[in-house]
């Protein structure tokens, strides 16, 4: 195996998402130097116009890999609420229509819109799931694709300060907490992203061992 760390781009500028991915793939840290889109300010943003999470993850991984020449790991993830016909879905990050660069402010606006749309909806009809699709691509081809899901219910109010996005309103009945109330170690195990990464990790290890 090449002793030099392989540079892999994580296709995000979201510090929270990058931190979660890096932590969950920590066993690979000696073999990989993780980079983010913040390291490539001259690379044009890929338009996420896919019909589902898998299409968006694949498009980002492939196009950013071709633009930078690096293996690229991209994810597309979001919240799907049954009572809203699967919305926010692929529009989760910009559900409120805002373009705030302040990620925390945008998260609050997105949460507020979901809560407003669900006003008066009984708990048994507030079922939802988080979905995460991951794609690792080289400039030549797609290398790995995985998916993870986490079932839950939209809470009546925000609870917890950990995590980001819709975590404060995503209640997990079997744990009795929202995603934002979970300690990082537990969240990384049960989350949609954690499940997708658990499948990805051994496949990445195999690829790296072959280079």
Q: Worst-scoring range by mean pLDDT, 29-38, 97-106, 178-187, 188-197?
A: 97-106
Kindly report, residue by residue over 23-69, the tens digit of the pLDDT: 777 767 677 888 899 999 899 999 989 999 999 999 999 999 999 99
CATH number at residue 117: 3.90.950.10
Write out the catalytic residue numbers: 76
Give the whole-number percent of the chain exceeding pLDDT 70.
94
Collapsed DSSP state (helix, strand, coil) of residue 130? strand
* CA distances from residue 45 to 13, 133, 140 in whole angstroms, order as listed: 10, 19, 20
Q: Into how many domains does the chain fold?
A: 1
* CA distances from residue 127 to 18, 39, 81, 83, 180 in whole angstroms, order as listed: 28, 38, 6, 7, 17
User: Whole domain around residue 50: which residue ranges?
Assistant: 6-210
Residue 1 included in any domain:
no
């Amino acid at each position: 195996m090449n002793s030099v760390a392989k540079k892999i781009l994580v296709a995000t500028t979201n510090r929270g998402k990058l931190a979660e991915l890096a932590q969950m793939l920590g066993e690979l840290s000696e073999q990989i130097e993780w980079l983010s889109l913040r390291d490539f300010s001259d690379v044009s943003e890929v338009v996420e116009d896919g019909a589902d999470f898998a299409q968006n993850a694949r498009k980002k991984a492939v196009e950013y890999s071709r633009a930078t020449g690096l293996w690229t790991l991209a994810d597309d993830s979001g919240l799907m609420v049954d009572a809203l016909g699967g919305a926010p879905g692929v529009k989760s990050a910009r559900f409120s229509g805002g373009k705030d660069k302040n990620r925390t402010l945008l998260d609050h606006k997105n949460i507020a819109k979901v809560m407003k749309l669900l006003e008066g909806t009984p708990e048994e009809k507030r079922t939802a799931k988080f979905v995460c699709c991951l794609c690792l691509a080289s400039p030549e081809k797609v290398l790995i694709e995985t998916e993870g899901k986490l079932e839950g219910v939209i809470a009546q109010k925000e609870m917890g300060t950990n995590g980001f996005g819709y975590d404060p309103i995503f209640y997990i009945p079997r744990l009795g907490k929202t995603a934002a109330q979970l300690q990082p170690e537990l969240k990384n195990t049960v989350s949609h992203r954690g499940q997708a990464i658990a499948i990805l990790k051994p496949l990445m290890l195999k690829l790296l061992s072959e280079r």
